[in-house]
Chain A
Amino acid sequence: MIDNINFAFYGFLLAISLVSFFLWRKYAKPLFLFSHLLFLIAPFILFAKDMNCHMSMISGLLAFCTTILAKLLFYVVPSSAFIALIAGYLILPYLFKKSDNCKQLIHPVVSRFSGKFSKFISLYAVDKADPVAFTIKNDIFISIGMLELLSKKELEAVLLHEIGHIYNKSSWLKLSSIIAKFISPIAHFSSLRDFVSKEEQKADEFAVKYQKTSKYLVSAKRKLS
């Protein structure tokens, strides 16, 4: 009976992973990244459940401790991952955009290409002298240091690279990989670095495709290295 329940439980987890994969193909990588967490905590839950079947004095205490541990893993790990995702993807970028050191810019490159990809892309300048640029959801953040350092064409290449990230939904994958790595040691052994470097490569290809030359992207990278 217990074996059947265990089998059904693992089957259920596998089914969730497979259904997620086929239904949300574009989110498949981050979903697989997180689904391993369910497999990680599953043995603890099943162990706790098994222990509760033999309620003698010692095993009862052990079962109680295991139940607490299992509950902790079952509730705390996924809920902290979920909260980190929501905070990192929705709340923190929103607060960051509203802060004093962030100003919205209207840049010709963004206006030109945002219409083309039928997406609402916003550009924000960050009060920071270090040359940095990053993307969260459909928002591009670029430091004033970067705006000062690059020529017009180089800046266009960097912005196109960031638009490439929006187009490929890279920020979702990057944030997921950071959170998964933070929560689970197993995620460190996955090929996340390959995913991330492939996303960078895709964004570079996107910029080169629309600029029709790699000259400016290369010179911008040289300046920033």
Chain B
Amino acid sequence: MKEKVTDFGALLSPLEQDILKQLWPSKKLRVRQIYDILKSSRKLALSSVAVLLDRLHDKGIVGREIESARGGLRYIYFSNKDKKGFEKSIVETAVNKLIDKFGSVAVSYFNERFSKK
């Protein structure tokens, strides 16, 4: 069965999605490596990639480690969850928010919805 292409447009910017796509096959990449991959398909600056990775790190979507290199230190970024895990966490957050806000109404709606199939 062909996997459905998920659009995270409402949650992530197109560039953030592209960055995540590079990290999802459980890769550990440096900012410059991600930049080198993405610059072939779109016009962007190294600083934009660095800023977006920092934002993703602040949101807890990606993690980072510090690596010693010649002449200094640098970050290595990795995804905290694979694609499926990320999707699951989005669904979990949305459902929890609905239940917190609407309580039993939301729960009975889910029952109705799943009994219909």
Contact = CB atoms under 8 A, between A and B. Distances in A.
A25 B33 CA distance: 51
B50 interface: yes
B19 to A, nearest CB: 14
Contacts, number: 45
Contact of B50 (A105, A125, A148): A148
- Interface of B, secondary structure class, is helix
Given A129-B53, A148-B31, A148-B32, A105 B73 contact: yes
B54 A145 contact: yes
A107 B50 contact: no
B1 interface: no
Interface in B24-68: 30-32, 46-47, 50-51, 53-54, 57, 66
Given A127-B66, A129-B50, A129-B54, A148 B75 contact: yes
Given A144-B66, A144-B73, A149 B53 contact: no
Contact of A105 (B51, B72, B75): B72
A147 interface: yes
Given A131-B47, A149-B47, A125 B54 contact: no
Contacts of A127: 66
A103 B30 CA distance: 19
A152 interface: yes
A152 B71 contact: yes
A125 B69 CA distance: 12
A209 interface: no
Interface residues of A, number: 17
A115 interface: no
Contact of A147 (B47, B53, B57, B72): B72
Contacts of A147: 71-74
Q: 9 closest pairs, A vs B, by CB?
A: A129-B54, A147-B72, A125-B73, A144-B73, A148-B74, A148-B31, A149-B47, A145-B50, A144-B75
Given A130-B54, A144-B73, A148-B74, 8 more contacts: A129-B75, A131-B47, A131-B50, A144-B75, A145-B54, A148-B31, A148-B50, A152-B71
23 contacts: A103-B66, A105-B72, A105-B73, A107-B71, A108-B71, A125-B73, A127-B66, A129-B51, A129-B53, A129-B75, A131-B50, A144-B66, A144-B73, A144-B74, A144-B75, A147-B71, A148-B32, A148-B50, A148-B74, A149-B47, A149-B50, A155-B71, A223-B46
